[in-house]
Structure 1
Amino acid sequence: YFESGLPDHQKMSALDIGKPNFLKAYDGHSAYGNPKALEIAGITSATNFEGFGEVVKDAQGNPTGALKEDAMDLVGKWVPAPSQEDQLNALRKGMQLASSLGITSIQNASGSEEELRLYQRLLSENELTLRYAAAFSVGENTSSAELDRFTFLKDSIGTLNPWIRADAIKFMIDGVIESHTAAMLEHYADLLPEHELALGMVNMSTSRFQELVRELDQRGFRLYTHAIGDRGVREVLTAYEKAQSSNLARDRRHRIEHIETIAPEDLPRFAKGGILASMEPIHADPATVGVWAKAIGEERLPWSFAWNSMLKNNAKLVFSSDWPACISLDPIRGIHVAVNRRDPSGFPEEGWVVQEKISMFEAMKAYTQAGAFSSFEEGKKGMLKPGYLADLIVFSQDLFTIPEMEIHRTLVDLTIVDGKKIFERK
């Protein structure tokens, strides 16, 4: 609808009712502020954003209303914060949705101490219906005092509570391919080499990132890092490897999140370093990748969402949703794409980058056993086994015997958490 791929005042004017509006893209990496919102934020043609992101301007140098990455905060900081009760009610609704889709545990990659307290409150009131693991967000300007606080929370909560844990850290090394903010080794196919975003962006300096990774690894955290572009993935692999070589040997299970494209020579580094490939099949739904594929170009397309290549190189493959930065929370939708590389309508008939599809067994394993392994919980969940936590679901059909193009029609009929019925389809 938008020629540039981003909203602008001209196209959005029909929706303008004279009040400040701030609309975020579902992936969380870009947003739109209407003229009133930009006025409140003080954004004008003279505004130059120097950080990780962009205030998008037209050919005349005027802001279009589109904001990328950290530039969203220029307007976002003016949005009134929800009350604690509003947050709790939203969390209750979110848990109901998760239970209806057969989700019994989550690992939240955008956690905070404030959010952790919400889950603790629900647990104390016997309302928590899924198991929660927090990953605290850390960036270039995170202070030593904040790192100390995260370490205190990790150590005080521990890993013995089967409901809540807080032993992980989340970094973001780059952005997303659609807005040309993912860090690439070669320039984007739909941008000229001299364009300021031709190679994307990195969210922090290499030296600072490696310093933080080394310190937090030393403190015993599990690390998640968002890396979508092939250059971003390489930056993270190198930082993890350096931390492993400088700190004491231990079982780390650090993860790289997304890995939407990768240089093939970097594939063996995952297994060699014990680094987990945490990926989201739903992002490869062929109905949604048009802008993505145009930006990547034909030469890099064979290494798009390379799940099969990861397995061939003995990487531990972990699947998740990336909710709410995706089109569906439903793991079944993800499994359908992983096995078919086609959308539910059957598009495209020949499959999209079909050599990277995987088997039903491998897809199911990535959503269950591998997720438990990534959080050091493989001895108590991720399988149906005597002595394991009584978290289980019942599907409406047998995923291992139905035609593969029928996977998306599967529903969850029953969800049980800790031996208690949480959801039953009527």
Structure 2
Amino acid sequence: MTTRTLYRNARIFTADGPALAEALIVDGERLAHVGSEADAREVLGGDAFSETDLGGAFVMPGFVDAHTHMVMMGETMQKVALRDAGNLEEIQLRLKNAVAADPAAPRLLGSGWLFSAIPGGTPTTEMIDAVVPDRPVYLDANDLHSVWVNKAALAEMGIDKDTPNPLGGIIERDPETGEATGLLHETAMHQYAWPTLASLTSDQERDAQLATAFEHYLSTGVTSGIDMALGEDELAAMRRALETDGGTLPLRINAHWLVAPSENHEENLAQVARAAELSREVNTPWLRVVGIKIIADGVIDGCTAAMKEPYSDGSNADLIWAPEYLNPVVAAADAEGLQIAIHAIGDLASEVALDAFEHANSVNGPRDRRHRIEHMETVTPESIARLARLGIVASMQPVHADPAVQENWRAMLGDDRIERAYPWTEFTDAGAVLALGSDAPTAPHPPLPNMYIATTRKSALDPELPANLPKYSLELAAALGHATRDAAFSCRREHELGRLAAGMLADFVVLDTDPFVAGVDSLLTSSVALTVVGGEVKFRA
């Protein structure tokens, strides 16, 4: 007989209505009861059970990070942290200190630098070589859509003045000499930097990176994640972890296979076929391949997002996926029953994504699809209405709206478009499902500060900064629901994840502070006391 556990004396936010419960029963991996303690004891009857008094603590469903990159997150935690480096001198100092700490390291990796910290917003090889000239240096931008490198790294990747720009990518060059200046955007990073570094990374290192991500997620209350850039190396690491843990994982992963852009239709459709094969092959309660990920454009900070109107400097960016290549891929994936997630930050890109979804509907007929658009930092009211009508999930990340990382973002647009940035409530008012995540490691992964930004539009990095368009802030209960219940809906697991109710999986979190009582500012100081996944305690403070 399975031993049941009664968790009592708690304030339980169920994400399943306005009422708070006070007790829950864990029976194996699922919940047998959520409600009053008196009713819980009646359900238990004469059966044997253990009892945990939570001392009036706040309990909620485990967070379902609706957009993350698991292995990359663990890898980034081992890199030199640059997000809070406010200027070039500070960046250079951190690089020098990293070399001093490990003089024998064959190369140096960093992550998180902001364009606003670089003079003129234009990084160069010389800026790195001034302090680290003797080994390759790779520095990921905060948004992970550009990488800044030194001359040794360019040589290691085999990039010179004759190296062509790949489809959808840019190698920044000196306008007079044509030499690469040290900044790779979008698919130039994917096709040169990522494969080079991947070839130098062992399976053991990837396993450790994934374990690091699991550890940090559990300690901050995340019990499920939707991985948005799965490739062969990442999937292999996850499958090794699954085998090592006897068919389970520390938390649940639902993954989207990354489809790289090509002007070869057969090559594109072959990638869809691989994703469909994996969706049938990798389908456990702990690890599932559920769909594909398409990156339709870039980011506003690097002026690579596809906009309907030019940037403040008069430039604009092309789509990474032109419609004549995008539409067949979306239709083919839709026909296979795969969920399709399209990265679209620019308002033009979101229109093109919606066109592709409408094309799939017309080709394959109506049904419940749960397709998604990721980010939508700028989007027209017309696109929001169309998204809601089509039943597309709006997958967004409050942490990207943090005022501390908005200076360059706003400067690149420079007009009234900044007054409708990250318009979360416009989506919910239109009737769309809003799923909240972190996009780690492009942004900090902890969900509680993310919820602070969602409910205040203020900065979790510097709370003294003025709020970023507070008219778009969410009520606390709504924000928590979007990060649990609706995130579970976005990966077709709402029947077992994201809510606390009898029959649901016992994935829940105990916080040391009740934000409904202490106020939303407490989200910046609260911590996780207990994380339970599938009925098992996976983290205890």
**Do the two structures share a fold, i.e. TM-score over 0.5?**
yes
Q: CA deviation at 1:145?
A: 3.5
Q: For 1:117-156, what aligned pairs fall within 5 Å after superposition?
A: 117-126=236-245, 128-141=249-262, 142-156=267-281
Name the CA distance, whole Å, in 2 between partners of 1:356 and 1:256: 19
Name stretches of at least 5 consecutive residues in structure 2 with no aligned partner. Answer: 1-86, 88-117
**Cα offsets for 1:387-412 (capped at 9, x unmatched):** 11011100111121222233211111
Aligned to 1:168: 291
The code of the aligned residue for 2:416 comes to E
d(CA) in 1 for partners of 2:349 and 2:268?
23
Q: Which one scores higher on RCO, CA 8 angstroms, separation ≥ 6?
A: 2
1:229-287 C-alpha deviation (Å, 9 max, x unpaired): 11111110111112112212211010000011111221111210000000000000001
| Match of residue 489 from structure 2 | 373
Q: Give secondary structure in 2 for the equivalent of 1:136.
A: strand
Q: Is the 8 A contact 1:287 1:347 kept in 2?
A: no
Alpha-carbon separation, structure 2, partners of 1:48 and 1:157: 37
Are 1:65 and 2:182 an aligned pair? yes
After the TM superposition, which residues 324-339 of structure 1 pair with which residues of structure 2 at under 5 Å, given as runs? 324-326=441-443, 328-339=444-455
Structure 1 unmatched ranges of 5 or more: 193-197
CA distance in 1, matches of 2:153, 2:480: 45
1:39 positional shift: 2.9
Does 1:78 find its partner at 2:199? no
- CA displacement, residues 16-69 of structure 1 (integer Å, 9 cap, x when unaligned): 232222222242211122112223444334544253122212453442211111
The 10-residue stretch of structure 1 (79-88 or 300-309) with the greater mean CA deviation from structure 2: 79-88
Q: How does 1:9-408 map to 2 (within 5 A)?
A: 9-49=125-165, 51-61=167-177, 62-72=179-189, 73-79=191-197, 80-126=199-245, 128-141=249-262, 142-158=267-283, 161-189=284-312, 191-192=313-314, 198-326=315-443, 328-344=444-460, 345-349=462-466, 351-408=467-524
Computing the radius of gyration from Cα coordinates, the structure with the larger value is 2
Shift of 1:11: 2.1
Query: Secondary structure of the equivalent of 1:400?
Result: helix
| Residue pair 2:398, 2:454 contacting (<8 A) in 1 also | yes
Which one is further off, 271-280 or 112-121? Answer: 112-121
Q: Are 1:424 and 2:532 matched, yes or no?
A: no
Output the TM-score relative to the length of structure 1: 0.93
Alpha-carbon distance between aligned partners in 1 of 2:127 and 2:358, rounded to the nearest angstrom: 47
Question: Which range is displaced more, 394-403 or 50-59?
Answer: 50-59
Q: Distance in 1 between matches of 2:126 and 2:422?
A: 35
SS of 2:382's partner is helix
SS in 1 for 2:200: coil
The one-letter amino acid of 1:102's match is G
Identity of aligned residues (%): 31
Larger deviation: 397-406 or 52-61? 52-61
CA RMSD for the aligned pairs?
1.7
Q: 1:267 to 1:145 in 2, by over 3 A?
A: closer
Are the equivalent residues in 2 in contact too, given 1:256–1:278 (CA < 8 A)?
Answer: yes
Superposed CA offset, 1:350-389 (max 9, x none): x211111111011101100001111111111111111110
Aligned CA distance change for structure 1 residues 294 and 148 (closer, same or farther; 3 Å): same
Q: 1:99, 1:50 → 2: CA distance?
A: 38
